[in-house]
């Protein structure tokens, strides 16, 4: 399909053993949470073949997933998430939006530049990050934490992947994969090629 996206290259950023103990991903405080994962048309078809109900997607051409009430706790869950095992039922075909986390793809506040960063709500990345003391006279930063070199290398690999031809063409079809500005995300770099692609295609609308 035209919007089929290759898997992000390289190892998973957060080790699986840590992921299954985390209580952040796949859970949402509101039914209409901004950060519900977005699925492209081909990703929806893959999810359906792996048992996710068709009603989970309001638009099978591409949409955010409809979350469901947590069976034993407050809040909502992705319908592909198994709260008993903390595993994703469609992990092998999970959408780009899920593969990307704990990195984030978003517009800046002015909605004219696409940014790539990492989410400090991820306990693993927060624990791995290093506190940085701003130099004397340096303008105060929004965040004073930086990732170690190994994670920065992985971040650069993902950023390069996001601006590859196949992914650029899919993001042009599904611009809602780029979220509105998230003030807590620690910005790593601009994605100028993706910015130009979205602006020139006239698909700059987001979620």
User: Domains of the chain: which residue ranges?
Assistant: 14-94, 102-134+142-207
pLDDT number for residue 94? 95
**Which residue in 183, 169, 173, 188 sits closest to 117, CA to CA?**
188
Distance CA 3, CA 166 (A): 9
- CA-based max dimension of the chain: 57
**Which residues in the chain come in under a pLDDT of 70?**
1-2, 133-144, 203-207
DSSP 105-153: EEE-TTSSSEEEEE-TTSHHHHHH-EE-PPPTTPPPPS--EE--HHHHH
The structure tokens listed for 89 are 């039922």
Q: What is the pLDDT of residue 206?
A: 47
| pTM score of the predicted model | 0.89
DSSP 161: H
- Strands 68-69, 62-64: parallel, antiparallel or unpaired by DSSP? unpaired
* CA gyration radius, the chain: 17
- Span 82-123, pLDDT tens digits: 999 999 999 999 999 999 999 999 999 999 999 999 999 999
Burial class (CB in 10 A: 0-12, 13-18, 19+), 176: middle
Predicted pLDDT of residue 87: 93
pLDDT score, position 165: 92
Give the C-alpha separation, 158 to 143, whole Å.
21
Task: Say whether 87 sits in a helix, a strand or coil.
Answer: strand
Token look-up 């807590």 returns 184
Can you read off the two tokens belonging to residue 188? 């790593």
Q: Torsion angle of alpha carbons 164, 98, 207, 168, nearest 10°?
A: 10
pLDDT the model gives residue 12: 86
Q: Is 68 exposed, middle or buried (0-12, 13-18, 19+ CB in 10 A)?
A: middle
């Amino acid at each position: 399909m035209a919007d089929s996206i290759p898997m992000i290259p390289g190892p998973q950023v957060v080790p699986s053993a840590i992921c299954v103990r985390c209580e952040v991903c796949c859970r949402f405080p509101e039914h209409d949470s901004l950060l519900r994962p977005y699925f492209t048309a081909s990703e929806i078809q893959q999810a359906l073949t792996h048992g996710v109900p068709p009603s989970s997607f309001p638009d099978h051409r591409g949409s955010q997933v409809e979350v469901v009430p947590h069976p034993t706790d407050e809040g909502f869950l992705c319908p592909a998430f198994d709260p008993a095992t903390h595993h994703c039922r469609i992990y092998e075909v999970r959408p780009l939006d899920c593969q990307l986390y704990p990195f984030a793809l978003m517009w800046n506040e002015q909605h004219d530049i696409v940014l790539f960063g990492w989410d400090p709500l991820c306990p693993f990345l927060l624990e791995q990050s290093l506190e940085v003391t701003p130099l004397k006279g340096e303008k105060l930063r929004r965040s004073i934490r930086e990732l170690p070199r190994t994670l920065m290398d992985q971040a650069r690999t993902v950023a390069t992947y996001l601006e590859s031809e196949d992914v650029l063409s899919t993001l042009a079809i599904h611009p809602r994969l780029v979220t509105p500005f998230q003030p807590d995300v620690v910005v790593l770099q601009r994605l100028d090629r993706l910015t130009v692609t979205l602006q020139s295609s006239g698909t700059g609308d987001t979620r």
